[in-house]
Amino acid sequence: MTFEWRMSLAFAVALCGAMIAQVMESRAQDTVAATDEEKPYKIAEDGTTDWPTFSGFRRYNSICHTCHGPDGVGSTFAPALTESLKRLNYEQFTEIVVNGKQEVNTAVQKKMPAFGTDPNVMCYLDDIYAYLKARSDGAVGRGRPDKHADKPPEAAEAENACMGN
Ligand code: HEC
């Protein structure tokens, strides 16, 4: 093998190595992103919930519970959202809450109202999703969470901006 040959071979090997490293790195990032997407809530080992999950608990149990039952367990009228969120992703969940959903045939007339223009729902949609996902995964039990993180200043700011205060 000539000197030039060996050099280009060494270069090719180095290039391959760099490419493999890059692919592996982007795979690792994908994994992290996927895990984040699956878990919009954070529950500490001692059971302390993060603020969004606690906020979602309060919002859910002041607006959605009238039809979907306390703590997302469902009622004779509307489905258990703890079950629904095993199937629906964030986009699907959002689409239904914004636009509503209706099942009408001769036997049933069930209507999920559209909340797209209701700031009391829209400004807390991510919180409600976090809470219901935590309930659906069994990370949060029924009733009011015992301990929760304080409301961070960013959450208060975002809330004021969203509610137009
Ligand atoms: C007035 C009663 C009522 C209220 C209030 C209500 N829902 Fe619903 N919701 C329903 C009914 C009924 C359905 C089933 C509609 C259907 O199957 O077509 C439904 C369906 C849904 C679904 C789809 C479930 C599935 O398995 O496909 C989601 C998600 C949902 N509601 C979220 C919410 C959230 C979040 C709130 C509170 C912001 C809320 N709902 C408030 C009655 C209600």
Q: Measuring from atom 21 of ligand 1, which residue has the nearest CA?
A: 112
- Amino acid at residue number 103: E
Nearest CA residue ID for atom 27, ligand 1: 84
Q: What is the pLDDT of residues 81-115, one digit of tens each?
A: 999 999 999 999 999 999 999 877 767 778 999 99
Regarding the beta carbon of 125 and ligand 1, being less than 6 Å apart is answered no
CB distance 98 to ligand 1 below 6 Å: no
Residue 16 has pLDDT above 60, yes or no: no
Q: What integer pLDDT is reported at residue 107 of this predicted model?
A: 72
Q: What is the overall mean pLDDT for the chain?
A: 86
Percent of the chain residues past pLDDT 70, beyond the cut? 76
Instruction: Give the three-state DSSP class for 111.
Output: strand
Q: Which DSSP letter does residue 110 get? A: E
Q: How far apart are CA 64 and CA 107, in angstroms?
A: 24
Whether residue 155 is predicted with pLDDT greater than 60 in this model: the reply is: yes
Contact partners, residue 61, CB within 8 Å, separation at least 6:
70, 71
Nearest CA to ligand 1 atom 36: 64
